[in-house]
Structure 1
Amino acid sequence: MNNNKFLPRAVAAACLAGAALGAQAQSAGTWFGTIGATRIAPNTSSGTLSPPAAPNTQVDVGADTQPTLSIGRMITDNWSVEVPIGFGYKHSIKGAGAIDGVGTIATVKSLPITVFAQYRFLEPTAQFRPYAMLGLTYAYFYDEQGSATLNAVNPANPPGGTGVSVDSKFGFTPGVGVTARINDRWFVDLQYARSFLKTTTHLSSGQSIDTKLDPDVFRIAVGYLF
């Protein structure tokens, strides 16, 4: 073979192969997965506990951070779908308003299940690629536990203590994010979203309280394209 022709052809082939590999970076048909940590921080706006209760009896809900996974697929070069996979978050419910300062009156675990549609800006091979997203979230609440403090402050405390249940609800979750390429396969993902979510907490005494949670959701993760 003529070496004068072989060298340019080899260089051209290598460039084409590199371009094809690079195009796998968030291009149509690519799957991706991430592993990282997510923090859910409610922005609590509490109603008042129904009678019998002291006027202005309210609650505040604490934040939690847990490891999370996600799986997603690029539908086109710009549109993607992603599903975060969590393992449950534990939130403290503390007294507020008339019972501010009493401490934790209950705990509840949450498992938010969200499907995100995402629009990614710039080219698939861009070093930094911002995106906007909108998700539908089902917030599943479970393992609710009332505390001794709740029994002490609740004037309607029944024999055996006050039980607690929290309604699971749907909500919308808009957000933004950015991916930073490490190489053709690996990337770092930063994400912020807010879920618009309301729920009602019921006590076994027959009382209830409406709460707007609207949590901020922060995630940092390392991802892989395949």
Structure 2
Amino acid sequence: MKNTNQWRWVAGALLLAAAPLAQSQSAGSLLVRGGFTQISPDVSSGNLTAPSFANTKVDVRSDTQLSGGITYMLTDHWAVDVPLALPFKHDTVGAGAIAGVGKIGEVKSLPVTVFAQYRFLEPQAKIRPYVGLGLTYAKFYKERGTAALNGLTGGTPANPTLLSAESKLGLTPQVGVSIALNDRWFVDLAYYKTFVKTRNTLSTGQHIDIKLNPDVFAIGVGYRF
């Protein structure tokens, strides 16, 4: 009898583990998450305007920061999602004719995105894939050139070459999945791509147009209120 009861407990535990967890991402739910986000620019650079070497281009490096987000379920399937993160810092390096000069500048970015999301399956499903479409305002600030940039443009320590980056709007499609850990906690995985371009302008009067089009990877642990 004792062994029979033990097997009943085991069978019950297995059934509970296999059953969908009632995370209830239903209308009116507020989902809050925290984790990490990497922004990896997929750069297509134009040429720096004259006077410069022919085929003078740039590339932009990736950065990873602490991040999070808030999702509000408007219905059982439609939601509004707002990712949040600390500012990102991206190094700009030489490419094309100046590929060997290394870092020529850096810029901080603070992308602000609002997504309209559609979540598949039912609110109680353990795994809920979703798609989203958002509008991103890519705010660039605290631009800074390096000694290498001065060397390329004739700047000096006393009169360095300054640079500025235009902040822009871009369209951002998104795919992701929410995986329930229990009725309140979940893991969120997302990928999205922002189609955005900017113009970097130097104090010498030169400028360069850059398609950034970053790939964005986000992972977080969340809680449903």
> What is the TM-score normalised by the length of structure 2?
0.88
**How many Å apart are 1:34 and its aligned residue?**
0.4
Unaligned 5+ residue runs, structure 2? 1-20
Residue type of the alignment partner of 1:195: T
CA distance in 1, matches of 2:74, 2:44: 38
Q: Deviations over 1:127-175 (max 9, x none)?
A: 11100001100000000000000001125x3761100100000000001
Secondary structure of 2:148's aligned partner:
helix
Question: What percent of counterpart residues are identical?
Answer: 56
The answer for the alignment partner of 2:190 in structure 1 is: 191
Question: Are 1:65 and 2:64 an aligned pair?
Answer: yes
CA distance in 2, matches of 1:138, 1:34: 21
Q: Deviations over 1:23-50 (max 9, x none)?
A: x621001011000000000000000000
The answer for the alignment partner of 2:204 in structure 1 is: 205
CA distance in 2, matches of 1:32, 1:169: 28
CA distance in 2, matches of 1:130, 1:205: 49
Secondary structure of 1:99's aligned partner:
coil
**How many Å apart are 1:52 and its aligned residue?**
0.6
CA distance in 2, matches of 1:174, 1:143: 28
Q: How does 1:33-72 map to 2 (within 5 A)?
A: 33-72=32-71
Residue type of the alignment partner of 1:122: L
> What is the TM-score normalised by the length of structure 1?
0.88
Residue type of the alignment partner of 1:128: I
The answer for the alignment partner of 1:116 in structure 2 is: 115
The answer for the alignment partner of 1:95 in structure 2 is: 94
CA distance in 1, matches of 2:165, 2:75: 39
Residue type of the alignment partner of 1:218: F
RMSD across aligned positions (CA): 1.2
Secondary structure of 2:160's aligned partner:
coil
CA distance in 2, matches of 1:102, 1:49: 15
Residue type of the alignment partner of 2:43: T
Secondary structure of 1:145's aligned partner:
strand
Residue type of the alignment partner of 1:162: T
Residue type of the alignment partner of 2:213: D
Residue type of the alignment partner of 2:160: G
The answer for the alignment partner of 2:28 in structure 1 is: 29
Q: Deviations over 1:42-93 (max 9, x none)?
A: 0000000001111110000000000012111000000000111111000000
Secondary structure of 1:72's aligned partner:
strand
**How many Å apart are 1:201 and its aligned residue?**
0.2
May I ask how many residue pairs the two structures share in their alignment? 204
CA distance in 2, matches of 1:71, 1:122: 20
The answer for the alignment partner of 1:175 in structure 2 is: 174
Secondary structure of 1:192's aligned partner:
strand
Q: Deviations over 1:6-29 (max 9, x none)?
A: xxxxxxxxxxxxxxx93x621001
Unaligned 5+ residue runs, structure 1? 1-20
CA distance in 2, matches of 1:169, 1:84: 18
Secondary structure of 1:134's aligned partner:
strand
Q: Deviations over 1:87-135 (max 9, x none)?
A: 1000000000010011000000000000011000000111111000011
CA distance in 2, matches of 1:179, 1:101: 43
